[in-house]
Amino acid sequence: MKHKVLFMLLAITCAGYCFGQRGVRIGYVDMEYILENVEEYREASEQLENKVQKWKLEIEAKQKVIDQMKNDLEAEKVLLTDELIEEREEDIQVLEKELLEYQQDRFGPQGDLVMQKRLLIQPIQDQVFNEVQQIGANKRYDFIFDKSADVVMLYSEKRFDISDLVLRGIARTRKISAPKNKEDERNRLKEFEEEQAQEDEEMTDALKERLERAEQAEQTRIKTAEERREEQLKLREERKKAYEARRQKLLDERETRKKEKEEERQQLIESKNDTIENEQN
């Protein structure tokens, strides 16, 4: 970045030296300002933004499915075998990989968002370039810079801003060839919408298929977990009954021994009483 700034300053200095008698004419354009004031670009940007919001909602929905599967697995781990745990972890990993690939396809460096923005901006950039060439030649500018590009403009006088001049030139060019331009723009937007519709349909089918697989896996998991839970409850009930039976048996045996001891004691008492009576007689 510093090298570009230094190069720009050096070029301006050299030009000022070479053309010192008439001075150096410098202008700049603000590409972002120009794009904001081109109606076709604004409309296409709104359509793209709607697509972006839809993609984000789809990503959120996929993430919620994964999070729910993780929470269910964590809650039911104690009831599952190692094999079932491993199988469900693999299902989660597959969905996570698909989600990551989908995010890259949509928002990655080579994703749909970057490519479609490039497609939207390129025609406007071409028109700006053509107008700048004409303005530079007609107005005898020595340098025309793009304010929003990599070369940093540390200071710029508004009087050197030719962005509105470029916009008026684009408007004149479009007015002369308005029918053709409008038809081309409609065709381009239509092609863009058709491509997006086809991609959305393919994506929707793939998403439905993945969601169906995930739903089937979830139903199988729930069924397996329910069956295992029932087995655990049945086993616990059987153990409880066996414990109660053993406990009751011990209580009965204890009560029997108690009664036997009481009878023996009573017999001893009666025997002693008989002995005493006999001695007295």
In tens, the pLDDT along 181-193 reads 555 555 655 665 6
Q: What is the pLDDT of residue 240?
A: 79
Q: What is the pLDDT of residue 194?
A: 67
Q: What is the pLDDT of residue 192?
A: 59
Answer whether residue 249 is part of any domain: no
Residue 120: is its pLDDT beyond 70?
A: yes
Answer whether residue 80 is part of any domain: yes
Answer whether residue 60 is part of any domain: yes
89/258 Cα distance (integer angstroms): 59
Number of domains in the chain: 1
| Contact predicate 221/72, CB 8 Å | yes
Q: Give the other-Cβ count within 10 Å of 171's Cβ.
A: 14
Q: Sorting pLDDT into bands at 50, 70 and 90, what band is 176? A: low
- Average confidence score pLDDT of the chain: 76
Answer whether residue 205 is part of any domain: yes
Residue 224: is its pLDDT beyond 70?
A: yes
Give the domain range for residue 126. Answer: 41-141+156-229
Residue 108: is its pLDDT beyond 70?
A: yes
Average pLDDT over residues 89-110: 90
Q: What is the pLDDT of residue 160?
A: 73
Question: Phi and psi (nearest 5°) for 51?
Answer: -65, -40
Q: What is the pLDDT of residue 281?
A: 63
Answer whether residue 213 is part of any domain: yes
Looking at the whole model, is its pTM more than 0.75? no
Answer whether residue 269 is part of any domain: no
Answer whether residue 130 is part of any domain: yes
Percent of all residues in the chain with a pLDDT value above 90, rounded to a whole number: 9
In order of 54, 120, 224, 251, the CA distances from 259 in angstroms are 82, 100, 52, 12
Instruction: Give per-residue pLDDT as tens, 11-55.
Output: 444 444 444 445 678 888 888 888 888 887 888 888 889 889 999
Answer whether residue 238 is part of any domain: no
